[in-house]
Structure 1
Amino acid sequence: MPSVSDLSTHIGYWMRMVSNAVSQDFARKVMAEGVTVAEWAFMRALYDEDALAPSALAEKMGMTKGAISKLADRLLAKGLVGRVENEKDGRAHSLFLTAKGRANVPVLASLADMNDAEYFGVLTAAEREALVRTLKVLVERRGLKNIPVD
């Protein structure tokens, strides 16, 4: 019988354990505010902009235009995002945060900050810096660009 490595011998196992816990708790927190993690990421991506075309937002977030369209439709229905038609091209439009959406972003950001503090506050400042530095190296060397929303 061939030797089979134990799950716990894989770095990915430990990363997934932490990632799942952090993500699931955060998802519960933002769901209590009426949005999903993907919707929060979409809103945060729009927060520093007056308005963005869906194609620009898709590029910024590393998502498909179809995924952006679905998120936009959900956020439009919730009154958190608005749509403005392009005056030069009637087929084109841009998306923007409504006043309600803009007011909601700092609330959601504070939940993200709180979630990080709950999980990573057990580390020393040096340990947190080393963890972030290591993760950034992996992101850079693997060429990862998509904003994690799942």
Structure 2
Amino acid sequence: MTLVSDLTDHTGFWMRMVSNAVSQEFARKVAAEGVTVAEWSFMRALYDQDPMPPSVLADRMGLTKGAVSKLADRLLTKGLIERTENPRDKRAHRLSLTGDGRVKVPALAALADENDATYFGVLSKSEHDTLNRILRALAERRGLKTTPVD
């Protein structure tokens, strides 16, 4: 008889359980503000930046140009970003937040902060710092650069 490990024997099981809970609650909070988590991530990536070409945004977020294009189209429809011509190359364009988008980003960031505080506030500061350090080390050592948007 082959010994079969239990689900709870796997670190990935515990990571997924916590990740799902944190992510699903945050998704509900941002949905109430009229955006998805992916759209929030996209808007946050534009927030501190000058207008940029979609290809640069795709590189920074670790997404495909197609994924950035789809997100941009949704946010354009919602009036949260704008597309402008590049003055040096009329065939190219750049993306930036609209005034409404600039107002929405800090409100969404506050929801993200609140969500983190709710879920991770049960940990001591030392535990939370250790968790962050371990997760960042795993991401760096595995070369993970894609912004999580799902």
Q: TM-score range by the shorter chain?
A: over 0.9
Q: How far did residue 137 of structure 1 move?
A: 0.9
Structure 1 counterpart of 2:127: 127
Bigger CA drift: 136-145 or 104-113? 136-145
Unaligned runs of 5+ in 1: none
Q: How far did residue 91 of structure 1 move?
A: 1.7
Q: Distance in 1 between matches of 2:30 and 2:7?
A: 31
Does residue 39 of the first structure (1) align with residue 65 of the second (2)?
A: no
List structure 1 segments (4+ residues) > 4 angstroms apart after TM superposition.
none
Structure 1 counterpart of 2:101: 101
Secondary structure of the residue aligned to 2:84 is: strand
Does residue 149 of the first structure (1) align with residue 128 of the second (2)?
A: no
Q: Distance in 2 between matches of 1:2 and 1:89?
A: 64
Q: How far did residue 89 of structure 1 move?
A: 2.0
Q: Distance in 1 between matches of 2:50 and 2:40?
A: 17
Structure 1 counterpart of 2:140: 140
- 1:1-150 equivalence runs, <5 A: 1-150=1-150
What's the TM-score, normalizing by structure 1? 0.98
Question: 1:91-144 CA deviation, whole Å, 9 max, x = no partner?
Answer: 210000000000000000000000000000000000001100111111111111
Unaligned runs of 5+ in 2: none
Query: What is the identity percentage for the equivalent residue pairs of Structure 1 and Structure 2?
Result: 68
Q: How many residues align?
A: 150
One-letter code aligned to 1:122: V
One-letter code aligned to 2:87: E
Q: Distance in 2 between matches of 1:54 and 1:23?
A: 26
- CA root-mean-square deviation: 0.7
